[in-house]
Amino acid sequence: MGLAVLVGVVGCGAAGTSGNSGVHKTIRVEGSDTLVNVAQAWAERYHMSQPGVSVQVLGGGSGVGIASLIDGNCDIANTSRSMKPDEMETVRARRSVDAVETIAALDALAVLVHAQNPRESITIDELAEIFGDGGQTVKWSQLGVTDLPGGHDKIIRVGRQNSSGTYAFFREIVLGKKRDFKLGSIDAHGSKDAVLLIARTPGAIGYSGMGYITTGVKALAISRRRGDPAIEPTIENARNGTYPLTRPLELYTAGPPQGAIKEYIEWILSPKGQKIVLEQGYVPVRDHE
Amino acid sequence: MNDQASSGGNRRRRSSAAAWLLRASETAMEWLIYACGWSAIFFVFAIFIFVLGQAAPMLFGKLDFIEFFTSTEWQPTSEVRPRFGILALLVGTLSVTALAMAICVPLGLGAAVFISEFCGGKFKEGLKITIELLAAIPSVVWGFIGVTVLGPILVETAGAPVGVNLLNGGIILALMSAPVIVSVGEDSLKAVPDSYREAGLALGASRWEIVYRVLFPAAKNGLLAAVLLGVGRAIGETMAVLMVTGHAVQIPTSLMDPVRTLTATIASELGEAVKGGEHYRVLFVIGLVLFAITFVVNLTSDLVVKGIRHER
């Protein structure tokens, strides 16, 4: 259920003020749905160690988080894409400081097929012919797959809504800057919905963050071109940069983070915070516990 | 004498104070109701003006209307060239609504006839309550049923390549619109005077003949209004269609093709569209298109219902 905006308020006023500082602080975090589970877990764990600080996490998407940062409605914007130049400009104009990014984790986009699909790997070129505008691959038999359950042959492309960060990232890596997606894909609203649909559809192929993989789907290994070694979407491969579909997950603040927000971001990058990244199925950027 | 006069004066004074209070509260109540009535109109206009205002920069000037209505290319976030063609979305909305109506009009009107003419007592009351309950199911729950129950059934039995498609959307929307059609249809059949039925019986008509030859013509405006209200419900539905139609930008060529509707497009894309950008504004233009469609449907059903009153 992508539409439902995840709301998590960790520790409300009365419970929080029992901390020794006596001053209660709330940090408002908003943005990417990809990051929302991790952000939620960070918030809960941080509140346990720092009862005087509560962190309020909202989802809605990278764009929503950035818009909120521009309007001053949140302290940290979570994004699964870098800020666009015009967004940077707006932050400067409205908040009179520059937006500052912190890479908090990495996400590897997995290319997913139905669990019973015999295919184990795929090249970027093959993906481009499936997903790209004008691409000619429409049947699994064109890819040498002839024994899908139920005798299905048609490739069912499962994408994301065209305003999502995941959509833009997949397009940039697989199709390049100068090519659009082929229309007619099933545009799932949220990564969870996409994975759920692929698991129920024998002929499906789609993409989502590595953290969303379930037992009903299979993640394909990816090679940059025919003949290159196929790279599995694993944490090691994402961290050492060999897996092609890896992207940074960022925290943006208006101006350099200060005070409680600075402490919070430092904690996220500490081994404790990075361990949560790993637990949630994403890739840590620093050493973890 | 004097005593009596003064006590009479008191009574008169008291009663005039009471009357004043009564009149004041009456006037206040009248104004309150007046304000309630006007607030509905005010809000509709406020919403319309807001949507128009958000859409205006695209609507007047930048938007190519020929492309907007005739192109199937919906690529609002393209890096190459953003394209705003809503033909596929328009066809999606119309096809899923038409399919839903094809399923639920016979079903809904049949149920209305059955409830109004062929059953009575506790069974009738039970049926009416159950159907009203059907209208109370939230659309997201309908969506879940479509995705988790109906979808797999379509894949396994009908051999659909994917379970979320036009047929799934049509069936779910039909079930959602049926309660409106049944309850309004039943009301309009009930409004046909019993003398009509008695006259039919006296002429030796069978019960089916009475329904077909007497009740349908007599209640035709009400039944038409019921259908149009169902159409309005189906066009406006968002959450359930977002989940069960497959949300794919294409003109369907079979019942098993995924489609995408206008409402679902707004719901899924508005949240992350850059505020004030072209994509954002075009979504508001789509809102205006939906406004126009529902306005025409509602106006038609209003005029039809007015037609009934004139006949009486």
Mean pLDDT of the B245-257 span: 94
Chain A: nearest CA to B71, how far in angstroms? 12
Cross-chain Cβ contact A61/B258 below 8 Å: no
**What does residue A111 show for φ and ψ, rounded to 5 degrees?**
-90, 120
Beta-carbon separation of B75 and A201 below 8 A? no
- Residue B287's pLDDT is what? 95
Q: Supply the pLDDT for residue B312.
A: 52
Per-residue pLDDT at A21: 46
Q: How many CB atoms lie within 10 A of CB B245?
A: 31
Which residue in A209, A204, A175, A187 sits closest to A62, CA to CA?
A: A209
Residues of chain A with pLDDT under 70: 1-23
Task: List CB contacts (< 8 A) between A193 and chain B.
Answer: 243
b/e burial code for range A245-265 (CB count within 10 A of at least 16 → b): bbbbbbbbbbeebeebbebbb
Residue A277, CA distances (Å) to A37, A50, A54, A79, A243 in order: 10, 19, 19, 15, 18
Which one has a higher pLDDT value, B273 or B53? B53
Contact B75 A204 (CB under 8 A): no
Locate the chain A residue with the closest alpha carbon to B162: A201
Give the pLDDT score at A6.
40
Q: How do strand A25-31 and strand A53-58 relate by DSSP bridges? A: parallel
**pLDDT for A12:** 39
- Report, as an integer, the average pLDDT of B31-50: 93
CA torsion sign for B45, B50, B53, B56 is: negative
pLDDT digits (tens, 9 = 90+) for B46-104: 999 999 999 999 998 788 899 999 999 999 989 889 999 999 999 999 999 999 999 99
Q: What is the mean pLDDT of chain B?
A: 90
Confidence check: pLDDT of B295 > 70: yes
Residues of chain A in contact with residue B163, where contact means CB-CB under 8 angstroms, are: 200-201
Chain B positions touching A189 (Cβ under 8 A) are: 242-243, 247, 268
Query: In this complex, do B77 and A162 lie within 8 Å of one another by their Cβ atoms?
Result: yes
Q: How near does any CA of chain A get to the CA of B135, in Å?
A: 22
pLDDT of residue A260: 92
Task: State the best of B272, B274, B278, B286 to mutate against chain A, taking most chain A CBs within 10 Å.
Answer: B272
Q: Is A6 on the interface with B (CB under 8 A)?
A: no
Q: What is the ipTM of this complex?
A: 0.79
Chain B residues with CB under 8 Å of A202 CB are 155
Q: Judge contact between B195 and B119, C-beta under 8 A.
A: no
Q: Which of A154, A180, A202 sits opposite B78 (nearest CB)?
A: A180
Hey, CA dihedral for B223, B225, B228, B233, is it positive or negative? negative
The per-residue pLDDT for A20 is: 43
Can you give the pLDDT at residue B311?
Answer: 58
Check A61 against B272: CB less than 8 A apart. yes
Q: A227 to chain B, minimum CA–CA distance in Å?
A: 30
How long, in residues, is chain B? Answer: 312
Instruction: Give residue A11's pLDDT.
Output: 38
Interface contacts (A, B; CB < 8 Å):
103
pTM of the model: 0.79
Which two tokens mark B13? 């004074």
Interface contact B162-A186, CB threshold 8 A: yes
Mutate to test the interface with A, among B84, B91, B147, B162 (most CBs of A within 10 A): B162
Tell me what the mean pLDDT of segment B252-271 comes to: 93
Test the B interface: residue of A183, A192, A193, A196 with most B CBs within 10 Å: A183
Determine the average pLDDT of the residues in B184-191: 93
The reported pLDDT for the residue numbered A17 is: 36
Q: How far is CA A289 from CA A38, A270, A275, B61, in A?
A: 16, 9, 6, 58
Q: Which of B239, B246, B274 sits opposite A63 (nearest CB)?
A: B274
Decide if A60 and B271 are in contact by the 8 Å CB cutoff.
Answer: yes
pLDDT at B209: 92
Residue A19 distance to chain B (closest CA, Å):
37
CA B291 – CA B54 distance, rounded (Å): 14
